[in-house]
Each structure stands twice: as structure tokens, then as C-alpha cells.
Structure 1
Amino acid sequence: MKDKSFIFEQIHIEVARNASDDFNLFHDKHKWLQVTHNPFKGPIVLGFQLNTLIEYQMRLYREAHHEDQIIADNQLRFSNYQIIFVNALRPRQEMRLDIKKTLIATIPELTLTNRIAIKSQGKTILLGYKKETKHPLFLADTDLSGLPDLNALPDKTVVPGTEFFLKRKWMNNGNVKNFLSGSFAEQSDYFDELLQVAQYPEVFPCSLTSGALLEKAQLENHDFKRNPMVYTSHDISVDRVHLATLKNNDKLHILVKQLPESPDKTLNHTSIMLRTYECFGVLENKAVLFRIKLNLVPLEEIIKNLSGKT
């Protein structure tokens, strides 16, 4: 696909962060200055905002190449995003999205794969893949059937007998529309009140995970100014069958589990240990809407590594 260019303004960031309850200081037009040794020199675009841009452009690509029919005919119910964040994107910084031609594999099962890249000012912002599959590519082996009734548990607590932190959210059509608009996605392709159409996008429910992580860290007395964390990767699997049932005011349970840090899991073969989270979006009827594996690292460690310090 020919590269498409976009320029985010600060208002796009404001709309997206407000719609998803993301209070990370990195996105705040005033508070970014309070982040210790912030190298970005201004607010930056949300990771899930870029994912939504990719989602919408991939939707247009699939429709233009009649691949949405292949997905439907073969019941490829899972939409998967494998994203590596290389650099941050600032507002008023022109960026280009490149989607490579679809590769169709049949072994071990039918899979549609596209390589994607976002670049700006000669730098790579992110790299990754968009894949359509019959089964989730990420965290597929996690069985959540034994969980207690999440509806009966208090918000912002640990699920008894597990390591999961629970954050409860409710779907809101207005927030979804704003997040789409803040991500250069045409909201009317998803919502039409006159025709009574309300089709939820894939990434928006996933974006609420950022707020859940922030609230978990806040309860743990994490210092967001002195020890900021940045995403290095998102691995996302969304169940389109369950997504199609989503509607305004639906309840979403977000489960977050932090894995132990290990010298065996580091950033790009450096000594920087990854902080990995396994996250799930569970509907009121216990259906698993999304599965996400997130990697974060302390900004301070990246800066030390870049400057050659130990």
C-alpha cells in the first residue's frame, strides 16, 4: 500500500487520553515537564492511539482487497496486533504509515499477515504485524474459567486466589467515537444512530488497559514523575465474535497480572529488564474479549543505556 501521512495535533492526544482515562504524564500538555529527565521535549501520542490508526487503515485495506470476505468465509475470528515501539511521536510531527502486501499462509492454519511500519522525520516510530487467525496468537493457553464471579468483587482489588488486579469499566459510545476521531478513524464507519448501527472498534476496549495499569501503580504508590515507565511492545488478540456483541453501558472487567522481572527477559539484548504484564478483557458473561501482553521499561534505564552509563 502506498504510504499514508498523518499529523497529530495536541487536541488529538487530549481527546484520546480523555476518552480512555489515560492520565499518564507523558501525554499531558502541561505535566510532561514534571517527568524527570523527559527526553521527549513535549507530550507524545498514545500507543493505543497509533494502534487504532493502524486498525482503521487495515480495515480500509482489507475492504479494498476483498480480504474481509476471506476473513468471514474462513471464520478468522481473532484480530492480532504485534507492535514494537521504537521511538515516540510528538504532535505536529508528520508521520507515515506503510502497510505491506498481505501474505496468506495455510500451514499450520489459514493466516493473513501484513507487515506495518510508522516512520517520522527519518526515524522508525513502530514496527509490527497485523494478523487474522482462527485462534488467538497471544496468551491463548490462559484458562480463566475458574475465576470467581467478577461482578461480585470490589473495583480496584486483587481477585481472590489469583495474581490478577481487577479494574472495572463501562463501555460508552461517546468515548469510543472520540477515541476514533482522535486516531484519524472515521467514526461514521462504526456508528450511525439513524440506522441504529453501533459497531465497536477492536482497539478501544484494549486501550482501557493503560488506565488500569496506571490505577494499579497508583495504589502501589508508584512515583510517576521520578520513575516513569514506557511501552516497548503490545501483543494483542481480540475476539471479533465477542466484540460484535458489545454495546453502550456494557460492563468490562480488565484483569492485569504482573510477571516477575528476569535477566532472561531484557530489551533488545541490553541489561534493561522488561516489566511484563498479562492483561485480559472479560465481559459480564465471562467471555474473553481481548488478551494482551504488554512490555514496559523504566525510562531512566533507556536513557542510561543510550548514554552508555551502567
Structure 2
Amino acid sequence: MKKQSFTFEQIHIEVARNASDDFNLFHDKHKWLQITHNPFKGPIVLGFQLNTLIEYQMRLYREAQHEEQIIVDKQLRFSNYQITFVNALRPSQEFSLEIKKTLINTIPDLTLTNRVVIKSQGKTILLGYKKETQAPLFLANTDLNGLPDLNTVADKTLVPGSDYFLMRKWMHNGNVKNFLSGSLAEQSDYFDELAEVAHYPEIFPCSLTSGVLLEKAQLENHDFKANPMVYTSHELSIDRHWVGQLKNNDKVYILVKQLPESKDNTLNNTRILLRSYECYGVLENKEILFRIKLNLVPLEEILKI
């Protein structure tokens, strides 16, 4: 078991949100005041910032336990995160990240599993699992081969013949390094210009989906001040092979599909309907870089609990 304490400052939030094009008012040091009935009394840390901290600390944990070789030898190609957000985290608020001992399961397939928990001031901020597998745990059966050539589809539009909203994003080493630093990860563990080393982290490409969701909502005339939405969970499956191929100026097509709201899809068995999205990062060669299931709810519904 590994447990450490950390603190984000507002500058970390600024750097991370700028690097990932996340203009959510919840993270803005001025505009958080404009959110109706905002209970957080200040800006809050990005969910993908916390995910990146978990990624980095899990990397250090794997290295210390010599588990990286297991991942390579057993071809555990997919990195999976199952995260539930319980409370918000504020800047200058000390918190702890605890990584539980690795469980190795062989049935039905080999899986390395670690439970992760973030707590602050006696409250759980986040809890979940990090799992290494040979196949994706989430949205594994998705087939995007029927989509048209994404190069021919206009940016910020629906892909013809589908429910997917498309937005193009480009990888930039500077943005990645800033996002790592903003997430309390050591950027030099990923980048060394003199040695011509540039290893992209897993979470950064995924983090761009937040900005894409915001762009989609803005085009739909969503009122971010009167009807803010908050994440309740992230489920991510990331293809390590394709992350390892990423380089500066690579283009990623991010596809987002909103699922119909349903009484069968609620927050913790309450009457609060989840707004669920399926998100994919697709490369120029049509390979899927990441698969994400995101769940959000209106803030006003959370406040009623």
C-alpha cells in the first residue's frame, strides 16, 4: 500500500485547464462566482487532473513493485480507470492519495487491479480502480468502421449517418508537459529533449474530451451559469500501444455521443437521471486511442440530495 499527501494550488488549475482547453466555469478563479447556487465557494480541481496524478503515482508504484515487466510480458495492452467522484477538491486543500496493493487475477483473463482513494479533511473526494488488461474493459464492442472518412467531416459537427459529434485536436508537447506539471506529475519522466525522448502520458488525450463536451454544449446554447453540470464518474480504457506512438502535432479525432436519459441509468439508485456520454479518440489510421464513458448530472440535482 502506498499513501502520500499533496496540495494543488490555483496555478496548477490554471495550467491544466489552459493546456486541455477546458473553459468550465467551475475551474475559473473569477467566473466560479457566476454559477448559480455554487456550493464549492471557489474554483475546484479538474477531474482529469486527479486522474493524471493517479496515472503518475501508479506508474511510480508499478516501477517500485517491478510490475511493468508483467504488463509487457503478458501483453496487458489496455490501461483502465474506473473513477467515481464523491466530493470536489479545492486549491490549497491538502489531500491524500492511497494506492492499495496490487491484486493479480487470472480468471477469466489476467488482470492487475489496484484500488485508489483520494481523501481530504475527513471526506472521500474520489474512489475507484486502475486495471491493466489485454482487452478494453469499457466500450469494448464499439465498431467505428462504418463511419465515413473523418477527414471529410467539418469540425464541430455531427458525423453524417451517426450520433457522433466530431472535434479535431492536435497533440502539442508543450500542452502535454504543462498538463503533467499542473497535475503534480514530473514532466521530465516523460520528456527529455536532449535525449530526444517524448513519451506521452495516458490521460492527457482523454482530458481533451472535457473541452469537446463544453464546445458541444455551447453550440447547443447550454447555459453554463444557470444549469452547470458536474462529473459523477469516468470509465476509461486506453490503448497503451497507440499512446506509445503519439508525437508532437499528431491529430486526434474526438467523437462524442450523448446517450438518451433513462430511468435505468440513475445516480446511486436515486431519481437523479445521469447524462451519459460515450467518447472516443480516433487516430489518422482509424485506430481507437481511447474509449471513455462519462456520467454527469446537473448541479441543482446534486444539491437536493
Matches within 5 A, 1:144-163: 144-163=144-163
1:109-120 aligned within 5 A: 109-120=109-120
Structure 2: distance between partners of 1:160 and 1:119: 44
2:234 is aligned to 234
Q: C-alpha offsets along residues 170-209 of structure 1, whole Å, 9 cap, x if unaligned?
A: 0000000000000010000100001100000000000000
* Structure 2 partner of 1:83: 83
Q: Report the AA paired with residue 110 of structure 2.
A: L
Aligned partner of 1:308 in structure 2 is none
* Partner SS, residue 292 of structure 1: strand
Q: Give the number of equivalent residue pairs.
A: 305
CA distance in 2, matches of 1:94, 1:130: 23
Give the match for residue 41 of structure 1: 41
Aligned to 1:142: 142
* Deviation at residue 147 of structure 1 after TM alignment: 1.1
**What's 1:225 paired with?**
225
Aligned to 1:70: 70
Q: Give how far 1:10 is off.
A: 0.1
Q: Secondary structure at the match of 2:248?
A: coil
3-state SS, counterpart of residue 82 of structure 1: strand
Given the alignment of the two structures, is residue 295 of structure 1 paired with residue 295 of structure 2, yes or no?
Answer: yes
Amino acid at match of 1:59: R
- Name the structure 2 match of 1:174: 174
Structure 1 residue identity aligned to 2:26:
F
Deviations 1:44-96 (A, max 9, x none): 00000000000000000000000000000000000000000000000000000
The residue that corresponds to 2:243 in the other structure is: 243
- Answer yes or no: is 1:205 the counterpart of 2:205: yes
How far does residue 264 in structure 1 lie from its aligned partner after superposition? 1.2
Q: Specify the code of the residue in structure 2 equivalent to 1:213.
A: L
Measured in 1, the distance between the counterparts of 2:152 and 2:171 equals 19
State the alpha-carbon separation in 2 of the partners of residues 4 and 182 from structure 1. 17
Determine helix, strand or coil for the equivalent of 1:70.
helix
Over residues 94-135 of structure 1, what are the superposed CA-to-partner deviations in whole Å (9 max), with x where a residue is unaligned?
000000000000011000000000000000000000000000
Q: Name the CA distance, whole Å, in 2 between partners of 1:8 and 1:117.
A: 16
In the TM superposition, what is the alpha-carbon distance from 1:18 to its structure 2 partner?
A: 0.1
1:263 and 1:40 map into 2 onto residues whose CA distance is 28
Deviation at 1:255, TM superposition (A): 0.2
Distance 2:16 2:300 in 1: 26
Q: Percent same amino acid among aligned pairs? A: 81
Distance in 1, Cα, partners of 2:198 & 2:2:
30
Match of 2:27 in 1: 27
Structure 1 runs of 4+ aligned residues shifted over 2 Å read none
RMSD: 0.5
State the alpha-carbon separation in 2 of the partners of residues 7 and 48 from structure 1.
16
SS for the counterpart of 2:58 is helix
Whole-angstrom distance in 1 between the partners of 2:190 and 2:147: 33
Q: Distance in 2 between matches of 1:48 and 1:86?
A: 14
Q: Tell me the TM-score normalised to structure 1 length.
A: 0.98
Partner of 2:129: 129
Structure 2: stretches of 5+ with no match in the other structure: none
How far apart in 1 are the matches of 2:110 and 2:187?
Answer: 30
After TM superposition, give the deviation of residue 2 of structure 1 in Å: 3.2
* Secondary structure in structure 2 of the residue aligned to 1:236: strand
Paired residue type of 2:55: E
Q: CA deviation at 1:216?
A: 0.2
Aligned-pair CA distance for 1:270: 1.0
1:217 is paired with a residue of what secondary structure? Answer: helix
